[in-house]
Amino acid sequence: MKQLITFLLTLSMAYSYIGWDGEAYVEFDEKSNKHGLVLTATGYTYDITGVGIDTDYINKKASPKYKGLIIYVGKDCDAFSKRYGKGGWEWANGGFIVSLQNAYFSFGRQEVWMEHVPDINMTKCEMP
């Protein structure tokens, strides 16, 4: 029973995001800390089919271009990547966007999960 509970807790804390950068749908693993989220690209990209709620991510394929890319998404609407520079992020009902100096990633139909951050004010990061 203890192993099952541990597995379920681990499963519930792990989350993947898929972000569009204008070229590819890039898969990111998420880790959280008291400052926000750390998104680490898995090195996989996807093609899509359908639109809106009928969108399916298909044809998972390896892409060395993105392997190891890390994006920090902060509680103060800030963002940073060693590869793409400083920037910020915003959210709306349709997802969230991370805009960096040399790139952007759009995470359509995905929630920014920051409830674990003690002093987060999500309204501050809401798109106008």
For residue 1, being part of any structural domain is answered with no
Within-domain flag for 120? yes
Decide if 109 is inside a domain: yes
- Expressed as residue numbers, the domain containing 76 is 14-125
Residue 41 lies in a domain: yes
Structural domain total, the chain = 1
The tens digit of pLDDT for each residue in 15-73 reads 789 999 999 999 999 999 999 999 999 999 999 898 877 888 888 999 999 999 999 99
- 99: Cβ contacts below 8 Å, ≥ 6 apart: 79, 87, 88, 89, 90
Binned at pLDDT 50, 70 and 90, residue 2 comes out as: very low
Residue with the larger pLDDT of the pair 96 and 58: 96
Is 8 within the bounds of a domain?
A: no
Alpha carbon of 106 to those of 20, 100, 113, 121: distances in Å? Answer: 5, 11, 15, 21
Query: Is 112 a member of any domain?
Result: yes
Domain assignment present for 36 = yes
Assigned domain for 80 exists: yes
Q: Could you write out the DSSP letters of every residue in the chain? A: -HHHHHHHHHHHH-EEEEEE-SS-EEEEEEEEETTEEEEEEEEEEEEEES-GGG-EEEEEEE-TTTTT-EEEEETTSEEEETTTEEEEEEEETTEEEEEETTEEEEEET-----TTSTT--GGGGB--
pTM for the predicted model, two decimal places:
0.84
